[in-house]
C-alpha cells in the first residue's frame, strides 16, 4: 500500500506471498493478487528461472517510483522471516501454533 507509483495510480491494494527454501534461501514461487501484479510475477519468474536466492534478488536494481517496488518489499519481509526461522525464532508457515 505504501508504493509511490501505486498510490499515484490509486491502485495501492493487493496481496503478495513469496516463498523460498529455508536452507538455501532460493526463491520457489509466490501468490499474488492486485493491479499490475503480472509485472511482479514476470520478474519473479525470471528470478526463479535463474535460481536466485532472496538476497541475490534484492541485490538487483529496483527503480523508484515503480509498482515493482512491491516485490522488493515482499523480498525484504521474506529475508527477515527466513533469518528468524533459521535462528530458531519462528516456526515455518503452516505449522501449528
Q: What digits encode the pLDDT tens for the residues 51-93? A: 999 999 999 998 777 777 889 989 999 999 999 998 988 766 5
The fraction of the chain above a pLDDT of 90, given in percent, is 52
Measured CA to CA, the distance from residue 44 to residue 18 in angstroms comes to 9
Question: E strands within the chain?
Answer: 15-20, 27-33
Q: If you average pLDDT over residues 16-25, what whole number do you get?
A: 94
Is 3's pLDDT higher than 80? no
Question: What are the chain's domains?
Answer: 4-86 (3.30.390.30)
pLDDT confidence of residue 94: 41
Q: What is the pTM of this model?
A: 0.79
C-alpha cell at 62: 529496483
Is 12's pLDDT higher than 50? yes
Amino acid at each position: 500500500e505504501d508504493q509511490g507509483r501505486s498510490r499515484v495510480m490509486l491502485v495501492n491494494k493487493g496481496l503478495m506471498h513469496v516463498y523460498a527454501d529455508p536452507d538455501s534461501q532460493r526463491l520457489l514461487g509466490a501468490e499474488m493478487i492486485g493491479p499490475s501484479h503480472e509485472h511482479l510475477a514476470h520478474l519473479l519468474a525470471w528470478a526463479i528461472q535463474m535460481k536466485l536466492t532472496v538476497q541475490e534478488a534484492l541485490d538487483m536494481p529496483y527503480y523508484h517510483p515503480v509498482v515493482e517496488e512491491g516485490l522488493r518489499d515482499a523480498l525484504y519481509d521474506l529475508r527477515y522471516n527466513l533469518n528468524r526461522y533459521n535462528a530458531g525464532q519462528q516456526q515455518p508457515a503452516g505449522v501449528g501454533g
